[in-house]
Amino acid sequence: MRLKDKTALITGGNSGIGLATAKLFVAEGAKVVITGRNKETLAAAAKELGPNALALVADVTDIAATEAAIRQGAEKFGKFDIVFANAGIPGAGGTPLGSAKLEVFEKVIRTNLTGVFFTVQSALPYLNDNSSIILNGSVISVLGIPGYSAYGAAKAGVRAMARIMASELSPRGIRVNVVAPGAIRTPIWGAAIATPEAEKAFEKRIGLMTPLGRLGEPDHVAKTVLFLASDDSAHVQGQEIFVDGGAVASPSGAPIYRG
């Protein structure tokens, strides 16, 4: 088991990528603290994860609540070896130039960038040397999709921030890297798709735009996070790994461009 005797913190661990990662971490021998905003989904996740997990209510935009949850988790399981700053909210075209609302823009930045920074800062006193920090980025930071200015800016900020954190924390042997998902089948997408027909149309559209021709699954991201969290990536520092079916690296290979 790759994470035997290790303790992990996963924000937004009650659904989607966060929950998939928590399940994998527990299966690999880790004790896991998950946080989230929704009491009901946290309770369900805790039941599914079993005795080696602790689920705590904390919104990443509430720094005091985040600090309290991290302290409580460390008191139960000991200092952390892994932090996966995963919690975030979708951009979903919410900040188009010309009609964006200040409150929406600031909420996206506050959750997806500021919340990530203060999650890491809050965890530092409870983090062992030679630990691994993984930040959740996104292909949106480089694809230039209309309507995503706040989300793209936040995720680009996560990438830049990871490199600076890596420089600051290298003296302690702490690694900081970014996993950047593409279109992944999570509850975030489900909330925006009203009918099964719309879901099929969405998946077809993503498939045409993705070189591997398919929507990604939460486990695809979780397994990449496991690599970054484990000693398998012991000499990987300040990097960003895209889990996007080739959308960023080789967009011309997408089915829509094939003859």
The question of whether 126 is a catalytic residue gets the answer no
Active-site position among 151, 200, 223, 257? 151
Q: Which two tokens stand for residue 75?
A: 């008191």
CA separation for the pair 178, 239 (Å, rounded) = 6
| Pick from 224, 122, 109, 119: nearest CA to 157 | 109
Q: Which residue intervals of 170-242 are DSSP H helices?
A: 187-192, 196-209, 218-229
Catalytic residue among 4, 155, 223, 257: 155
Closest CA to 226 of 177, 182, 156: 177
Active site residue 155: yes
3-state DSSP assignment of residue 82: strand
Residue 209, token pair as written in the block:
């735009």
Which residues lie closer than 8 Å to 5 by C-beta, 6 or more apart?
29
Is residue 21 within 8 Å of residue 85, measured between CB atoms?
A: no
Phi-psi region of 16 (alpha: psi -120 to 50; beta: other; left: phi over 0): left
Active site residues: 151, 155
